[in-house]
Amino acid sequence: MRILIFGVGGMGRFFRDFFRVRGYDVRGYDTIKDRRDVELDEISDFDVIFVCVPMECIKDALEDIKKYANKNALLVDISTIKSDILPYFDESGFDYMSIHPMFGPKSDIGLSNIIVVHRSGRREEEVILEEFKKAGAVISYLPRERHDVVMAEIQGLSHFTLIALADFLKDRVGEIINYASPIFCVLYKLASRIVSQNWKMYLKIQKNAEEKREEFLKHMISLSERLKDEREFKKLFEDLRDVYIDKGESTIILDSYKATLDVNDLNLVRGYIRALDSLILRLIERRVETGKKVAEIKKERNEPIEITDVEEIKIRDLIANTHLNPVLIYRIFDSLMTLTKEEEYRVLGVNKKLAILGPMGSFSEEMALRLVGSRLPLIYCSTTDEIIRAVERGKVDYGLIPIENSINGTVLPVLDALLNSNVEVFGECELEVVHCLTAKREIPLKSVKVVYSHPQAIAQCINFINNYLPHAEIRYTTSTSDAIKLLDENSVAITSEYAARLYRLCILRKGIQDVKNNVTRFYLIRRKGGKRSGRITAMFFGVEDRVGALKDVLEVFYKKNINMRKLESRPAKTGLGDYIFFVEIERALDEDDLKELKEVTTFYKIIGVFDRVESLTLN
């Protein structure tokens, strides 16, 4: 989905940066040359166009868009007043979605309200709104005929109150601000913010609120009379307390204004920093407390506590909005997230973590859920090397890595990594792999245009593809579950049945793999130093470059009646023709066994003694 921001002012820059951070192809057009990435005659290739120009310029902007844009593009209106603007969109001939972001360009989208006023039912609208939701925005809906009426109260009256206060005190505010309370300072800052912005926009807001403003003024005069009477004043407070009940943490709001002050005296500067530090600490405490709520929600939904992709997007958003050292900013917020997650784990009684290959819906996750029964302690990694490093460094307690598939054989990169790592195998488990042909909807096989999946899954189902989908294009993905994200109405993915259920896909065919007995074996790993027990020993060894050297090692196993269930040779990486060997034997070796092995090998390294594991306790 290619996105054009038509008008790269304050809100235009906000939406441009928001979608860029999330990986979308975003460009900007503006009448100011320095702001634009594309020319007007180059906007025909965009799927979505956010119209982010001032309201008085929207009519002209739509004329340009009609002339140069793709007629199938979806327009997104973000105007503040809808009654004057939406008729232009109605007449444009384009599908459009109208939203009202209830925040400014320098505000964070988290917990900010985005009002949806009109939708045309396009798929792109779902994608856009879902991105807003994932960023923590509050999505609400107002019919177009109600929007301006509600805005007359929400925006019209609040802005009028601030403008009136600013105008009434304009000749004295320079003096009285020196004696101001936190409440007055907050009002002063808000009034300053309004009068510094585009007066034309605020004029439209006030024109929309003319009737409501007159009603409000009459009420103010009546209220002024009531306040002269003590009993009336008391009754007013009692009545209002029943309605205005959200007074929690209002001190944070009132103290936040201090962060906007400009001080020069050394003692005042020190006081400023002290106030900032105090505010930061209280906000950190609030963040951690909120993490506890997140933990309970994740427990109900069976979601992992740690989702790396989400955390990375959060930090990228923050880094994109600051000129400070990005490396240090990353460390600061990574530490904050770690602090929050520790509290989440504590609240839920999760004491240990298990690293697996992600994303959600992978075969590794399916195996992990059979072992631990919950996603809460799972840490999703992109590669097996990442899993091994996380175990080595103590970031997680355990790792789950695939070591062998009954069709494709040993996972050689994992084997090589185990030789040089400081981890040990303490268990193994097996998962039957059943591949399914899945899609977003019921679709005849003859209508399928693209097949998505991991190269290994494609290879394991190639006969089915050649027989039933010879006309379809094959596109490889990093995992079977990643293939799901690329699905459209005319494509299919090869996934597990578990992933299909998880993502609510239609299963077109089940068990499409060429060989039905398809099993993947996994190792469970931990840092070295645990108590070893089990009937299987996995080890590497090297031998001299001479005739019969390998036979001598195998002879040790033969004489002791030790069954060898796996033997692999791997390049030693010391020279052409130099190899080391990996073996799994069905016995735990004692001191005598190791002594004999030492005599016939140049080195040996035991990487695990283990049994098959059916479950894993992480609390």
Same domain, 462 and 539: no
Q: Which single residue is written with the structure tokens 């045309």? A: 120
- Which of 277-281, 305-309, 324-328, 366-370 has the least mean pLDDT? 305-309
What's the rounded Cα separation, in Å, for the pair 263 and 241?
Answer: 37
Q: What pLDDT, in 10s, does the model give residues 399-455? A: 999 999 988 888 999 999 999 899 999 999 999 999 999 999 999 999 999 999 988
159 and 278 housed in the same domain: no
pLDDT of res. 197:
86
Cα distance between residue 525 and residue 226, in whole Å: 74
Query: In whole angstroms, what is the distance from residue 32 CA to residue 78 CA?
Result: 20
Higher-confidence residue of 303 and 519: namely 519
Q: Give the end of a domain, one of 301, 322, 348.
A: 348
**pLDDT for 550-579, tens place per residue?**
999 999 999 999 999 999 998 888 777 788
Range of the domain at 314: 266-348
d(CA 5, CA 23): 15
Same domain, 138 and 6: yes
Q: Would the pLDDT of 117 be above 90? A: yes
Q: Is 302 a domain residue?
A: yes
pLDDT tens for each residue of 449-504: 999 998 888 999 999 999 999 999 999 988 777 788 889 889 999 999 989 988 88
pLDDT(606) > 90: yes
Question: Is 307 a residue whose pLDDT tops 80?
Answer: no
158 and 131 in a common domain: no
What pLDDT was estimated at residue 248? 67
For the chain, what's the residue count? 619
- For residue 279, being part of any structural domain is answered with yes
CATH number at residue 486: 3.40.190.10
Residues 85 and 201 in one domain: no
Tell whether 124 and 31 lie within a shared domain: yes
pLDDT digits (tens, 9 = 90+) for 5-14: 999 999 999 9
Residues 129 and 182 in one domain: no
Mode of pairing for the β-strands spanning 564-571 and 579-585: antiparallel
CATH of the domain at 80: 3.40.50.720
Q: Is the pLDDT reported for residue 517 higher than 90?
A: no
Q: What does the pLDDT average to over 514-521? A: 90
- 369 in a structural domain: no
Residue 220 belongs to a domain: yes
Mean pLDDT of the chain: 91
Among 95, 119, 142, give the residue marking a domain's end: 142
In a domain, 408, yes or no: no
Res 505: pLDDT? 93
Query: Residue 545: which pLDDT band, with cuts at 50, 70 and 90?
Result: confident
Q: Are both 155 and 287 inside the same structural domain?
A: no
Look at strands 603-612 and 423-432 and give their pairing: parallel
Token pair belonging to 59: 């009519």
Token pair listed for 22: 């999330």
User: In three state form, how does the secondary structure of 503-539 look?
Assistant: CCCEEEEECCCCCCCCEEEEEEEEECCCCCCCCEEEE
Cα gap 593→558, rounded to integer Å: 12
Co-location of 303 and 324 in the same domain: yes
Average pLDDT, integer, range 194-211: 91
Q: Are 134 and 16 contained in the same domain? A: yes
Cβ-in-10-Å burial (0-12, 13-18, 19+) of 305 comes to buried
pLDDT, residue 268, reads 86
CATH value at residue 333: 1.20.59.10
pLDDT over 80 at 310, yes or no: no
**Averaged over 498-513, what is the pLDDT?**
92
User: Distance between terminal CA atoms of the chain?
Assistant: 43
One-letter amino acid at 200 equals: K
Average pLDDT over residues 37-58: 93
Partners of 584 in the β-ladder: 538, 566
pLDDT tens sequence across 212-257: 999 999 999 999 999 999 999 999 999 998 888 877 667 788 788 7
Q: Which residues fall within 8 angstroms of residue 233, CB to CB, at 6 or more apart? A: 226, 227
d(CA 44, CA 39): 10
As given in the structure block, the two tokens for residue 50 are 């956010």
Q: In the predicted model, what is the mean pLDDT of residues 314-331?
A: 88
Give the total number of structural domains in the chain. Answer: 5
Q: Provide DSSP, 380-409.
A: EESSHHHHHHHHHTTSSSEEEEEEEETTTE
Per DSSP, the chain holds a count of helices (H) and strands (E) of 24, 22
pLDDT at 35 over 70: yes
Does residue 393 fall inside a structural domain?
no
Nearest-angstrom CA–CA distance, 400 and 367 = 9
Q: Edge to edge, what strands does the sheet with 25-29 contain?
A: 25-29, 2-6, 48-51, 74-77, 95-101, 113-118, 138-141
Same domain, 220 and 271: no
| Pair (217, 285) in one structural domain | no
Share of the chain above pLDDT 90, in %: 66
Output phi, psi for 585, to 5 deg.
-125, 150
Distances (CA, A) of 1 to 42, 89, 529: 16, 21, 50
3-state secondary structure 531-553: CCCCCEEEEEEECCCCCCHHHHH
Give a three-class secondary structure readout of 58-71. HHHHHHHHHHHCCC
pLDDT greater than 90 at residue 97: yes
* Residue 455 dihedral angles phi and psi, to the nearest 5°: -55, -40
428 part of a folded domain: no
Q: Is 394 contained in some domain? A: no
